[in-house]
Amino acid sequence: MSGRRRDFLKTMGALACAALPGRAFPDLGTAPSAGARPPDMCAANGVSTSLFIPGPQGLFGRLAPGGAPLAMRAAAVDGGGPWTLGFHVEHRGARYVNPTLVLQRGEPVNIALANALQQPTSMHWHGLAVATRNDGSMIPPVEPGKGYDYAFDVRDRGSLYWYHPHPHGFTAGQVHGGMFGLIEVEDDDERALRGALDLMPGRSEIALLLQDRRSAGYAANDTDRMHGWLGDHVLVNGAVCPHLDVATRIYRFRVLNASNARTYLLGLRSADGKSVPFTLIGTDAGLLAAPRRCEQAFLASAERIDILVDLSDAAIGDSVVLETRAFDPMHMESSMDAAPAAVDHEAMGHAMPPPAPAGSAQPAVDHAAMGHGGAFPEGAPKGLLQLRVRERIAYVAAVPARLSTIAPIAVSQAAERPLRLGFAKGRWRINDRVFAMSETPIAVQRNTVETWLIRNYFNSMPHAMHLHGFHFQVVGRETSPAQVAALKVDEAGRLATDLGWKDTVLVWPGESVRIAIDFTLPFAGEQTYVFHCHNLEHEDGGMMLGVKVT
């Protein structure tokens, strides 16, 4: 390794995320972080499962309809795998369950959904900007034995989106049961990136679906509805801590958190316990303007991150583990389960406590001991995927210094809307309200810009807030917890994962997050969507409000 490159790594090693100039890819074996520990290696017990990578058909198989209509059936899944429910498709002689839809920007989509379940269901195209009739939320769901036709054009940037049911009261169980799939939208920026780095989907570009589960299956109780469903173990593409044999090159991993409620703090670690940086290139709604070098990143339910892992300097036999690291999940709600309605915590002086001293670590809450769901506590460390270097190849590539063009939303004339996240009368609420299908308490004027100030009470828990129908930009974070503030990349308090376009943002206890939304849309007439917490137990419990665009 050259002296210049070594000096660069020493300079950048203390930063959580930083702008990445040119070809300065970090190599394996950067200085270990404080308290570094050997990773939870996937083959520690002598048994390791190869990472499942979807093929041209079958589970999560890649399907490019090219505008052709698809028939999709929501039904039970046979085969003894982790999921018991799914979306079945037969197309041109191939059979799929939860196909990965590969779509081009501007392509028409026509999908006829048939419901063969014993519950109502619907389809939400998470992250795609569609009219109300296609959104799957503010219209009646598809009843058992009935069907519904979805038809829309893809208007969105190239990115990894996903689809899942959205029938109010049934979403959490159906998603946990396996009813979700990926959507890859391709555009010119995507094609340029793949060309520059010689990326091939399924080989050097791989989607990772994270979901935690319990062996007994889904049966949420009052505790789960309060805190969110937490599992005993984490699946990556359907297996616990699998491995992937890799070569000495750059790999792209497109990561979806499909867990009902769990947040991850993702990072990479070598076999000797050293932190291995990665390059963040995209988030929910597409590529960033420029790459960012990161040591770790939070990933909340429904969020996606797009990362590059450079193994070109690795030696045969090296291994790297993608892990979720230790953090304080900040389940502060344990002290206020019976909080009264409409308490003004700020007026009562319940503000954020002073930040923890620099370098101090807060222990993870033992959720199992406190009855908060599964045996694997949120915030506990765990290895998720082992990358095993098995082949040396000649590979020369440079990540582009610019990945896409992102114009900031002009907010100088924007009206600001306050939104409070809290708990009262046994239910999580937004602005002290819970969801009703016939109500749209958030009313906005089409073709205007608003900023939303989302404030989470200190006596609360993190909430992953998702807006249907529109992408947004994070303007800034205020009073962030110390573990979050340590990852900020600018004076506005934003994280690297806040840059670019988003559809879901995690708001921590005591934190305020300001987002900017352009409510320009092409659909005629009044449109209605929802804004909700993507902790699916919170969503099903009513932590969701209707949004009317007039």
Lookup: tokens for 489: 């990349």
Q: What is residue 332's predicted lDDT score, i.e. its pLDDT?
A: 86
The answer on 150 and 25 residing in a single domain is: no
Tell me the C-alpha distance between 286 and 158, whole Å: 6
Answer yes or no: is 335 within a domain. no
CB 373 within 8 A of CB 224: yes
In the predicted model, what is the mean pLDDT of residues 515-529? Answer: 97
3-state secondary structure of 342: coil
The answer on 301 and 229 residing in a single domain is: yes
- pLDDT per position as a tens digit, 170-229: 999 999 999 999 999 999 999 999 999 999 999 999 999 999 998 778 999 999 999 999
Q: What is residue 373's predicted lDDT score, i.e. its pLDDT?
A: 66
Lookup: tokens for 83: 């999921």
Task: Report the 10 Å Cβ neighbour count for 337.
Answer: 12
Residue 97 has pLDDT above 50, yes or no: yes
CA dihedral 298, 505, 414, 132 (to 10 degrees): 150
The answer on 313 and 295 residing in a single domain is: yes
| The residue type at 418 | P
- pLDDT per position as a tens digit, 361-378: 444 444 444 445 678 999
Residue 251 has pLDDT above 70, yes or no: yes
- pLDDT per position as a tens digit, 529-548: 999 999 999 999 999 999 99
At which of 195, 214, 238 does a domain end?
A: 195
Answer yes or no: is 277 within a domain. yes
**248-273 per-residue burial string, b: 16 or more CB within 10 A, e: under 16:** bbbbbbbbbbbbbbbbbbbbbbbbee
Selected residue with higher pLDDT from 338 and 246 = 246
How does strand 108-115 pair with strand 70-76? parallel
Residue 16 has pLDDT above 70, yes or no: no
Q: How many domains does the chain have?
A: 3
Residue 383 has pLDDT above 80, yes or no: yes
Domain containing 76 — which CATH number? 2.60.40.420
Answer yes or no: is 344 within a domain. no
- pLDDT per position as a tens digit, 268-316: 999 999 999 999 999 999 999 999 999 999 999 999 999 999 999 999 9
Q: What is residue 368's predicted lDDT score, i.e. its pLDDT?
A: 45
Query: Which contacts qualify for 63-66: CB closer than 8 Å, 24 or more apart?
Result: 63/89, 63/91, 63/94, 63/96, 63/99, 63/100, 63/101, 63/102, 64/101, 64/102, 64/103, 65/91, 65/101, 65/103, 65/109, 66/107
Residue 452 has pLDDT above 90, yes or no: yes
Residue 2 has pLDDT above 50, yes or no: no
At which of 144, 164, 195 does a domain end?
A: 195
End-to-end CA separation in angstroms for the chain: 59
The answer on 181 and 70 residing in a single domain is: yes
The answer on 477 and 370 residing in a single domain is: no
CB 411 within 8 A of CB 249: no
Tell me the C-alpha distance between 134 and 128, whole Å: 10
3-state secondary structure of 252: strand
Tell me the C-alpha distance between 79 and 36, whole Å: 40
The answer on 94 and 31 residing in a single domain is: no
Tell me the C-alpha distance between 108 and 104, whole Å: 9
Answer yes or no: is 409 within a domain. no
Answer yes or no: is 407 within a domain. no
- pLDDT per position as a tens digit, 334-343: 655 443 333 3
Answer yes or no: is 351 within a domain. no
Average pLDDT, the chain: 88
The answer on 378 and 257 residing in a single domain is: yes
The answer on 186 and 223 residing in a single domain is: no
Segments forming the whole domain that contains residue 16 = 3-51+202-329+364-391
**519-540 per-residue burial string, b: 16 or more CB within 10 A, e: under 16:** bebebeeebbbbbbbbbbbbbb
The answer on 77 and 44 residing in a single domain is: no
Tell me the C-alpha distance between 124 and 143, whole Å: 15
Residue in the structure block whose two tokens are 């009317």: 548
Answer yes or no: is 338 within a domain. no
Lookup: tokens for 178: 């396996």
Strand partners for 474: 515
The answer on 98 and 213 residing in a single domain is: no
The answer on 469 and 509 residing in a single domain is: yes
Answer yes or no: is 214 within a domain. yes
At which of 195, 223, 253 does a domain end?
A: 195
Task: Report the 10 Å Cβ neighbour count for 385.
Answer: 24
- pLDDT per position as a tens digit, 128-166: 999 999 999 999 999 999 999 999 999 999 999 999 999
The answer on 296 and 311 residing in a single domain is: yes
